[in-house]
Structure 1
Amino acid sequence: MTGEHPHRFPAERPTGPGMALPGVTTEELTVALDVGGTAMKGAVLSGSEAISYHRWPTPREEGPDAVVKAVISAVDELLGHAPGARAIGLVVPGLVDDRTGTALFSENIGWRDVPFVKIVSEHTGLPVGFGHDVRAGGLAERELGAARGHDDVLFMPIGTGISGAMFVEGHAIANKYAGEIGHLDVGSGELCACGAIGCLETVSTGPSIARRYNRLTGANVQGAKPVVERMHAGDPVGLSVWAEATESIARALAAYVSLLAPGLIVIGGGLSSAGDTLLEPVATELRRILVWQQQPQLVTASLGDNAACLGAGILARQALS
């Protein structure tokens, strides 16, 4: 099980199939599931408050059918922890059609055209709120977290990939092809897994930062954290790789700012744990690049890796209406 956000959510309450939740009416109960490439994060919620969190591995090595079965199993387990739950929220990665309730494609998981809303609603008899994991994370940050009270916002998690949830004048951009900021050409000259050359994801994700550092040094580090640690210890290669990563992020954000003028940019995902080590050079480079455009405020996400799961909970509440 995952740890709760220390400032927002209560300690996990012991629950089990058929066990009543003290102080909670069934009218308030929903369950939420965020399906990731390596783990699935679930929650039982009363209104917008998470009562408990749960976690399972994503069996993607066994193929997409196994992952779909694991999703159904996780939903069943969550409902066992939430007797009387009235709706389910489910969010998934990749290309997602929110309106038809279909997971169209995921490169990491390998599924195609999975009608999740139909499958889960028929299996449980409950309404299902369904969507894209990053857009759901942005929804949660705007309703519950760092973007609360802001209408023009970009939520951009940076992990093994990079994409964005966009809010313009208070409206979420729900186009299934929108928000792929990680595939803006930042001039890296490197081949991306998507087939294009120069994408932001080739230089500024955790794996790409490690890969570039290893290529230059012969090391075998995993992820961005050891590169940052070596940079702080005075490693010039670490400094160079990190500088290129942050400058590329700023270059991509400058294009976004010029088009949609967000007042706030919320950076989440694993890379956001670097805090000011990430935000300060990105902000400095943005100030250099942007001449007349509005300078956005940059902050780190406040909901951590629970954002998408909490966003799924919001979608579950919306499904009730």
Structure 2
Amino acid sequence: MIPPVISARSDTSPPGEPPTGRSVLAVDVGATTMKGAVFGEDGQVRHSIVVPSRADGDPVGALRELCRRLRAEALASDVAPAGIGVVTPGIVDEAAGLVRYASNIRFRDVPLRALVHDDLALPVAIGHDARAAGVAEAVAGAGRGLANFVLLPLGTGIAATVVLDGDPVPGTAWSAGEVGHMPVYPGGEPCSCGQRGCLEVYASAGGLARRYARLGGTPGLDSRAIAAATATDPLAGSVWDTATQALGIALATLTLTLDPARIVLGGGLAEAGTHLFDPVRDALRAALAWRTAPEVVPSAFGVQAAQVGAAILARRAAGLPVPDGWAAPVSAPVGS
């Protein structure tokens, strides 16, 4: 059975009288940190907390502790939360509220919705981080008003969200969008997934840093430092060029398969702005010999997209409406 989509369009409230003028809690679980926030009725962040993910210790316990702390801080400020949304990477069964497998955060068959509901006694929405980011972009970001677009958050890994008629597509087994493991250089460098030549090896923030170090670069440099060093460090320049070329090839494959109206790049790596976007756009155009390339634009929310999506899912779980443009950012993104 094909799982249902997660609606990204504005909601209508269910029968009855849903709570109004109330906040929601949103948590974005990453491989390194977990980001929690309290969103007010107007879509603006009232409080925020960032804590380590503790993936090598008790990652589920760390997440539950963050959720309890976030609710306590909201109540201490006389802000009554109406619901909570929690999003993670990996294979996430939103319908069952279950994280089936997420290697970067060491989750396997975690009944997250039940656990968080037991702790907080609030309506709980569980989602996939990239699909939640797609919800945010569709409601109030770079995909607003479009019938279809593709979002790629470029972070520790790379996933994608395919949005059709305002809805992110989860796939038959909740695994749609694993483009990080799309082979861009067949027979290339090994990936942790067991394949070779995966996009994530070359063009994710984590993969780029690992590749630079493995080829003899200055130890400890992250993707931002590598990007900044490209003008003076030949190895940094070579690794960066390979990354942008790999990303352009992947976007060409997505374009030929899906024909999106727009491609949106988000995540930390996209903060490199035109230093990333210009060569990626060039590589995409070069890979499409017979058709026009779709526009490639930065996420409106940047690294906060998944958390905003979690807040939108929380409002829906609580029976609160999500007006078109809710939580829209106040400043323009970089790289446009």
Structure 2's unaligned 5+ residue stretches are 1-18, 320-336
AA aligned opposite 1:227: I
* Number of matched pairs: 296
Whole-angstrom CA distance in 1 between matches of 2:37 and 2:133: 14
Whole-angstrom CA distance in 2 between matches of 1:119 and 1:265: 36
SS at match of 2:215: helix
SS at match of 2:103: coil
Does 2:241 align with 1:214? no
Whole-angstrom CA distance in 1 between matches of 2:46 and 2:183: 42
Partner of 1:251: 249
- 8 Å Cα contact 1:185-1:198 kept in structure 2: yes
Deviations 1:4-34 (CA, angstroms, capped at 9, x unpaired): xxxxxxxxxxxxxxxxxxxxx9643211111
SS at match of 1:159: coil
Aligned-residue sequence identity (percent) comes to 37
- 8 Å Cα contact 2:49-2:70 kept in structure 1: no
Structure 1's unaligned 5+ residue stretches are 1-24
Distance 1:109 1:82, change over 3 A: farther
Deviations 1:170-202 (CA, angstroms, capped at 9, x unpaired): 331022110011100011611111111110011
Does 2:33 align with 1:39? yes
Q: Deviation of residue 276 (structure 1)?
A: 0.6
Whole-angstrom CA distance in 1 between matches of 2:48 and 2:63: 20
Partner of 2:22: 28
Partner of 1:201: 200
Whole-angstrom CA distance in 2 between matches of 1:134 and 1:308: 6
Q: State the TM-score, normalizing by the size of structure 1.
A: 0.86
SS at match of 1:143: helix
Partner of 2:14: none
- 8 Å Cα contact 1:168-1:260 kept in structure 2: no
1:61 to 56, 65, 82: 56
Partner of 1:104: 100
Whole-angstrom CA distance in 1 between matches of 2:221 and 2:104: 18
What is the Cα-based RMSD across aligned positions, in Å? 2.0
Partner of 1:52: 47
Q: Deviation of residue 292 (structure 1)?
A: 2.8
Partner of 2:291: 293
SS at match of 2:35: strand
Deviations 1:43-68 (CA, angstroms, capped at 9, x unpaired): 21223332232222222221334334
Does 2:81 align with 1:85? yes
Q: Deviation of residue 279 (structure 1)?
A: 0.6
Distance 1:218 1:119, change over 3 A: closer
- 8 Å Cα contact 1:30-1:46 kept in structure 2: yes
Distance 1:249 1:78, change over 3 A: farther
- 8 Å Cα contact 1:183-1:200 kept in structure 2: yes
SS at match of 2:25: strand
Whole-angstrom CA distance in 1 between matches of 2:127 and 2:31: 16
Partner of 2:237: 239
SS at match of 1:34: strand
Partner of 2:334: none
